[in-house]
Amino acid sequence: MSGTFLYGANVRANGIRQHYLRYGGAGPALILIPGITSPAITWGFVAERLGREFDTYVLDVRGRGLSETGSGLDYGIDACADDVTAFAGALGLAEAGYHLAGHSMGARFAIRAAVRQPKGIQRLVLIDPPVSGPGRRAYPSNLDWYVDSIRQAVAGMDADAMRAFCPTWTIEQLRLRAEWLHTCHEPAIVETYRGFHEDDIHQDLPNLPVPALLIVAGRGGVIQAEDEAEIRQLQPGIRIARVEDAGHMIPWDDYEGFFAAFGDFLGKPLT
């Protein structure tokens, strides 16, 4: 670790141990929630840059990374959303105010967190959230893709084996995922994936209490033009930015384009 990385730590919040990585240490606070099988460390290269401008905290969502896990935990959207706001409260971030950003699953948790417990949240950044739900088209990635890769990681796999699941990634990205994917608790992933199809985040969109930015992957297949139109109808004030030449894992595909998509939404461009 180098650059803006400060340390990793644990805090007890919402009744569980939550692990996080902190970058920057100065400027407005920003909490980043990764996606369904992304431990905090895998977003370190993004947080390094965010840390230049923000006091950045990257969470290990329950059931992932070094946060609490096990068969007795609730992995539903409400519990995970409450983890985020409890984390902010435990570290005193809610008093001064903080920005909340989430990728994929993390964006859905951010939406729900902002509606359930908005105290301290100033701005929302929603990075390619699944728009599946009751009566809607399915999320484009198959559950077997997640489960098969996790089971191989638990048994032990290297970067070459991981390439079968992430063929466009660099060797560094593959090594990191192969190293950490085994920390993703399979039942947690299955419950989250089920929630993609059973939880209705669209009902929350009209009630967002703060300004929101939606960042869409142009090649992701997750959010399509008709979805953008519906989201605008539900939340007319939302800002939408597209990263045209990126798949769902946007900063992996177009690092500069990802940060450019923020524009001045968080106060100034991210350089």
Q: What is the pLDDT of residue 59?
A: 98
Flag whether 180 is in a domain: no
Average pLDDT over residues 89-110: 97
Mean pLDDT of 114-131: 98
In a domain, 50, yes or no: yes
Inside any domain, residue 51: yes
Non-local (6+) Cβ contacts of 186 within 8 A are: 147, 150, 151
Q: Give the mean pLDDT of 178-185.
A: 98
Q: For residue 256, give the amino acid letter.
A: E
pLDDT, position 106? 98
Q: How many domains is the chain partitioned into structurally?
A: 1
Q: What is the CATH number of the domain that holds 115?
A: 3.40.50.1820
> For 108-119, how does the pLDDT look when each residue is reduced to its tens digit (9 = 90+)?
999 999 999 999
- pLDDT confidence tier of residue 184, bands split at 50, 70 and 90: very high
Residue 254, domain member (yes or no) = yes
- Report the C-alpha gap between 65 and 70 in whole angstroms: 12
| Cα–Cα nearest to 43, from 156, 221, 173 | 173
DSSP-derived pairing of the beta strands 16-23 and 212-217:
unpaired
**C-beta separation of 31 from 88 below 8 A:** yes
In a domain, 247, yes or no: yes
Residue 131 lies in a domain: yes
| In the block, residue with structure tokens 């435990």 | 90
Domain containing 76 equals: 5-136+198-260
Average pLDDT of the residues of the chain: 96
181 located within any domain = no
Residue 220, pLDDT score: 86
Q: Give the tens place of pLDDT for each residue, 35-90.
A: 999 999 999 999 999 999 999 999 999 999 999 999 889 999 999 999 999 999 99
Amino acid 271: pLDDT: 75
pLDDT tens-digit readout, 190-231? 999 999 999 999 999 999 999 999 999 999 899 999 999 999
Mean pLDDT of 123-133: 98
Can you tell me the mean pLDDT for 159-163? Answer: 97
Q: What is the predicted pLDDT for the residue at 1?
A: 46
Domain membership of residue 86 (yes or no) is: yes
Q: What local confidence, expressed as pLDDT, does residue 268 receive?
A: 87
- Kindly give, in sequence order, each residue whose CB lies less than 8 Å from that of residue 225, ignoring residues fewer than 6 positions away: none
Question: According to the model, what pLDDT value does residue 2 have?
Answer: 56
